[in-house]
Amino acid sequence: MAEITASAIKSLRETTGAGMVDCKNALIEADGNEQQAIEILRKKGMATASKKAGRIAAEGAVGSYIHMGGKVGVLVEINCESDFVARGEEFQQLVRDVAMHIAAVDPKYTHRSEVPASDLDKEREILRDQLKNDPKNASKPADVIDKIIDGRINKFYEENVLVDQPFVKDPSKSVGDLVTEKIASIKENISIRRFTRYKMGEGIEKKVDDFAEEVASLASGN
With vertex at residue 129, the alpha carbon angle to CA 127 and CA 131, rounded to the nearest 5 degrees, is 70
- Does residue 92 sit within a domain? no
Residue 99 lies in a domain: no
Q: Which domain holds residue 23?
A: 1-52
Residue 177 to residue 180: CA distance in whole angstroms: 5
User: Is residue 111 situated within a structural domain?
Assistant: no
- CATH at residue 13: 1.10.8.10
Q: Is residue 164 part of a domain?
A: no
- pTM for this entry: 0.67
**H or E element at residue 193:** strand 191-199
pLDDT tens per residue, range 101-114? 999 999 999 999 99
Spatial contact of 59 and 79, defined as CB atoms under 8 Å apart: yes
Cα 46 to its chain centre, rounded Å, is 16
**pLDDT score of 174:** 92
Kindly provide the residue ranges of all beta strands, DSSP E only, lying in 28-130, ordered along the sequence: 59-67, 72-80
Distance (Å, whole) CA 123 – CA 102? 23
> Is 80 a domain residue?
no
pLDDT surpasses 60 at 36: yes
What is the β-pairing status of strands 72-80 and 59-67? Answer: antiparallel
Q: How many domains does the chain have?
A: 2
Residue 135 lies in a domain: yes
In-domain check, residue 180: no
Last residue of a domain, one of 158, 187, 213: 158
Residue 33 within any structural domain of the chain: yes
95: Cα separation from own chain's centroid: 13
